């Protein structure tokens, strides 16, 4: 008895070659509308699915394969004589191969101005049903959903070798394909109005395997989220690599932190990140000057760091990076990754002289528009809105007697944005839109202030400071005062705000509160 196959993939890649291969193997083939037409025109011997169902397509093609003539043939167990007898009783035939692929829902809803009616018409019903039926019965039926598997399928059939483990992999791929498809539909229909549904699935597509995870003994891979609500590609996962070896797990984490940080600034800005924490940030119209300032903030940490620039990289900036030396060894600055929206040809030529650096062109991240972020914990996942507030706090409330100057306010806002990207407890010191000191990840805030002021050293005099949350005790303010800082921005709301204000008044410092916390754990 010949094998039977139904061919109904939306993506016609490799379809004709597959069908001709089936034909050479004597497989009896059936197809739906457009697939039937294409294969008939190609000279392939194929029959319409209506020969199995006894019905033509109805409802503008909404119903093609939803019939016992199709699903009885797919779902019948070949190891149960009763099932085969029942097929005979109803004049039905076993179906052994389903080649499917679903309507382009994701591509449709990504278009500007798409209407709900258009989206609904791209929700495939018959395709997923056939694929799920074949995957359920994979012990007897081959579910084929990926054109990349066509050659393997043909080889297996030619050699009459279709082992169970291989069939299982085809079934897994099929169920996952349908699950991702359903996730995209649910995400689109849910929209932004229901950010935290009772049940949540994420559709992820593997972009690449990684050499290893955080450590060499850990395996890892990079996945890209399939989200119909995010129509514009953003971030490191959508970056194009122009030069250098493959990114590692840690590289990607650091690059993401650097790119999200620099994209939070409107002015031309450079951010240098080490271990997911900015060690230098500066804004200047002259990017070479911005780099020099960002590097000077912590030149030791910058060695082996990630440089992110929110403007195109030109030859002048590339030269400045190439000519920078380690402060103690005199060695040329080693950089893991440089990320920017684009690079000039001259910049690529200069920077590519270092075989170790990776150059990434990345689409900007709109930090004011980002919806949700997901963070794994053992046995589950945390989901929250992105911290979309940037350099303009909702309201600045002056807690001290002295009002901050206009120049101080500009630096305070810059410092407040810097704090957003530094691990809590975060304290930063800023002068003239350049971060010159940073204390991060400490278990108490006063220690972060000590580190930040120590790093800034004499440059702290006349600078401003920011705290990512309220200042619980005036000792943090006292550390800043001793360093010569003139203004502090913090969340406010501590029961000891008056004590902190008193210290500021005693040193003629300005103290302002945002009413908003910027924790980054």
User: What's the CA dihedral at 351, 353, 354, 355 to 10 degrees?
Assistant: 120
What is the C-alpha radius of gyration for the chain, rounded to an integer number of angstroms? 30
Q: For helices 68-75 and 126-136, give the axis angle rounded to 10 degrees.
A: 20
| Res 195: pLDDT | 84
Domain pair 238-361 / 397-513, same fold: yes
Instruction: Mention every residue, 6+ apart, whose C-beta is less than 8 A from residue 447.
Output: 425, 439
Q: Is 305 helix (H, G, I), strand (E, B) or coil?
A: strand
Class of domain 397-513: alpha beta
| Res 52: pLDDT | 80
Confirm if 477 and 446 have CB atoms less than 8 A apart: no
- Assigned CATH topology for domain 4-190: Rossmann fold (3.40.50)
Domain ranges of the chain: 4-190, 238-361, 397-513
| Cα–Cα distance for residue pair 262/272, rounded to 1 Å | 9
| Res 415: pLDDT | 95
Q: Output the tens digit of pLDDT for each of the chain's 521 residues.
A: 789 999 999 889 999 999 999 999 999 999 988 899 999 999 999 998 888 877 777 777 677 777 888 888 899 998 888 998 888 888 889 999 999 988 888 888 888 888 888 888 888 888 889 999 999 999 999 999 999 999 999 999 999 989 999 999 999 999 999 999 999 888 888 887 788 888 888 889 999 999 999 999 999 999 999 887 777 888 999 999 999 999 999 999 999 999 999 999 999 999 999 999 999 999 999 999 999 999 999 999 999 999 999 999 999 999 999 999 888 788 889 999 999 999 999 999 999 999 889 999 999 988 877 778 888 889 998 988 888 876 666 788 999 999 999 999 999 999 999 999 999 899 999 999 999 999 998 899 999 999 999 999 999 999 999 998 888 899 999 999 999 999 999 999 889 989 999 999 999 999 999 988 888 88
| Cα–Cα distance for residue pair 264/333, rounded to 1 Å | 26
Class of domain 238-361: alpha beta
| Cα–Cα distance for residue pair 493/483, rounded to 1 Å | 24
Instruction: Mention every residue, 6+ apart, whose C-beta is less than 8 A from residue 358.
Output: 241, 243, 244, 245, 247, 251, 336, 337, 338
CB 357: neighbour CB atoms within 10 A? 20
The most distant pair of C-alpha atoms in the chain lies apart, rounded to whole Å, by: 97
| Terminal-to-terminal C-alpha distance of the chain | 64
| Res 155: pLDDT | 93
| Cα–Cα distance for residue pair 476/270, rounded to 1 Å | 28
Name the residues annotated as catalytic.
Answer: 136, 275
| Res 108: pLDDT | 83
| Res 250: pLDDT | 95
| Res 462: pLDDT | 96
Helix (H) or strand (E) holding 429: strand 427-430
């Amino acid at each position: 008895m010949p094998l039977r196959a139904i061919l109904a993939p939306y993506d016609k890649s490799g379809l004709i070659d597959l069908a001709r291969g089936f034909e050479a193997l004597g497989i009896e083939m059936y197809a739906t509308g457009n697939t039937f037409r294409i294969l008939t025109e190609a000279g392939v011997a194929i029959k319409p699915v209506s020969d199995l169902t006894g019905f033509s397509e109805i409802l503008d093609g909404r119903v093609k394969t939803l019939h016992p003539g199709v699903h009885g043939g797919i779902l019948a167990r070949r190891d149960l004589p009763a099932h085969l007898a029942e097929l005979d009783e109803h004049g039905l035939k076993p179906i052994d191969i389903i080649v499917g692929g679903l309507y382009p829902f994701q591509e449709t809803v990504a278009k500007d101005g798409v209407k709900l009616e258009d989206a609904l018409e791209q929700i495939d019903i018959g395709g997923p049903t056939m694929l799920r039926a074949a995957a359920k019965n994979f012990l007897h039926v081959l579910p084929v959903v990926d054109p990349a598997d066509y050659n393997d399928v043909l080889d297996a059939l030619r050699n009459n070798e279709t082992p169970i483990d291989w069939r299982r992999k085809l079934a897994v791929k099929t169920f996952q394909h349908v699950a991702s498809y359903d996730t995209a539909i649910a995400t689109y229909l849910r929209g932004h109005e229901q950010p935290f549904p009772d049940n949540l699935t994420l559709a992820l597509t593997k972009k690449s395997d990684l050499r290893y995870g955080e450590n060499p003994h850990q395996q890892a891979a990079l996945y890209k989220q399939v989200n119909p609500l995010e129509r514009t590609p953003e971030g490191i996962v959508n970056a194009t690599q122009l030069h250098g070896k493959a990114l590692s797990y840690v590289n990607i984490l650091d690059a993401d932190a650097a790119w999200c940080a620099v994209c939070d600034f409107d002015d031309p800005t450079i951010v240098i990140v080490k271990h997911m924490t900015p060690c230098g940030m500066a804004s200047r119209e002259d990017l070479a000057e911005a780099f020099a300032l960002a590097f000077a903030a912590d030149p030791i940490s910058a060695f082996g760091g990630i440089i992110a620039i929110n403007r195109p990289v030109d030859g002048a900036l590339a030269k400045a990076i190439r000519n920078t030396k380690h402060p103690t060894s005199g060695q040329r600055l080693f950089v893991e990754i440089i990320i920017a929206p684009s690079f000039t040809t001259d910049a690529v030529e200069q920077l590519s002289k270092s075989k170790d650096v990776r150059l990434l062109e990345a689409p900007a991240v709109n930090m004011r528009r980002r919806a949700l972020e997901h963070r794994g914990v053992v046995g589950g996942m945390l989901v929250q809105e992105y911290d979309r507030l940037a350099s303009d706090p909702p309201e600045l409330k002056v807690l001290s007697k002295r009002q901050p100057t206009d120049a101080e306010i500009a630096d305070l806002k810059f410092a407040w944005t810097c704090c957003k990207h530094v691990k809590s407890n975060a304290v930063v010191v800023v002068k003239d839109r350049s971060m010159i000191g940073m204390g991060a990840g400490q278990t108490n805030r006063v220690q972060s202030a000590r580190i930040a002021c120590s790093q800034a050293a004499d440059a702290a005099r006349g600078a401003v400071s920011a705290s990512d949350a309220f200042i619980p005790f005036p000792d943090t303010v006292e550390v800043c005062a001793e360093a010569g800082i003139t203004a502090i921005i913090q969340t406010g709301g501590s029961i000891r705000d008056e004590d902190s204000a008193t210290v500021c008044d005693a040193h003629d410092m300005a103290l302002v509160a945002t009413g908003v916390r910027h924790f980054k754990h």
